[in-house]
Amino acid sequence: MNLPFRNFTTFRSYWIREGASGHGGWQARRDIVEELLDPFRQELTRQRRSGIPQISEEPIATLRDPAAIREQLGRLQCIAQSDPPLAIGTAKELVESTAKTVLQERGLHVDDKQDLPVLIKQAQEALGLHPATAQPGPDGTGAVKRILGGLTGIAVGLGELRNLDGTGHGPKGKRVGLQPRHAQLAVNAAVTWCSVMLDTLADDEAPWRAVAESTDE
């Protein structure tokens, strides 16, 4: 920590020089604390976020209501390593919020009581990303369709993992005991699925837009 003083004497000189003494120095005192602690805050933030995958801000910024997605991402950044069950439950909630957001952005009905696998299927179909409904073009190639099929399985598996040992349901007994590496697996899976969905939703040249335009006509 690089302090602008070395002992109490130099600290007192620094304190007076910065205008922090007396009843009127409260703002200066606040500024001093902010200045001294800011490097630590930045480093803690960097360490907290290291290893936590991120969703690009650009597609999120285009959403009409990104609040739920931002909330889940913020929570994941805080607890991915320290609380595996909560991280797994939150990762599932991120996928669920993203699926509902996609349907809402497409002007489709959102059933809040619908199971996660159905929501995932509906959201991927809405963007032409379900392997069974992929349109001709890059998203309809065999390779991409196989990846999309795997992506669907990942998202569904995430919901099953949450039911196994995540938060959101009260366990009937002792938890399975999933570790931080399992939480990281869940978080990576959730962010991968959500990134693909939101990037496609924001893509001006995505095939789903042409289909939507032809339907409107």
**Tens digit of each residue's pLDDT (9 = 90 or more) over 162-192:** 877 555 544 444 555 677 788 888 888 899 9
Answer with the residue of higher pLDDT: 50 or 197. Answer: 197
> How far is the C-alpha of 66 from the C-alpha of 98, rounded, in Å?
9
SS (H, E, C) the chain: CCCCCCCHHHHHHHHHHCCCCCHHHHHHHHHHHHHHHHHHHHHHHHHHHCCCCCCCHHHHHCCCCCHHHHHHHHHHHHHCCCCHHHHHHHHHHHHHHHHHHHHHHCCCCCCCCCCHHHHHHHHHHHCCCCCCCCCCCHHHCHHHHHHHHHHHHHHHHHHHHHHHHCCCCCCCCCCCCCCHHHHHHHHHHHHHHHHHHHHHHHCCCCHHHHHHHHHHC
The mean pLDDT value of the chain amounts to 81
For the chain, which residues make up each domain, given as ranges? Answer: 8-48, 66-216
**What confidence tens digit (pLDDT) does each residue in 59-99 have?**
998 999 999 998 888 888 777 667 888 888 888 999 999 99
Residue 103 tokens read as: 């349907």
**What confidence tens digit (pLDDT) does each residue in 11-21 have?**
888 888 888 88
> How far is the C-alpha of 136 from the C-alpha of 128, rounded, in Å?
10
- Residue 88 has a pLDDT of 86
Q: CB 11: neighbour CB atoms within 10 A?
A: 13
| pLDDT at residue 140 tops 60 | yes
C-beta separation of 125 from 108 below 8 A: no
Residue 23 tokens read as: 């009843």
- Residue 169 has a pLDDT of 46
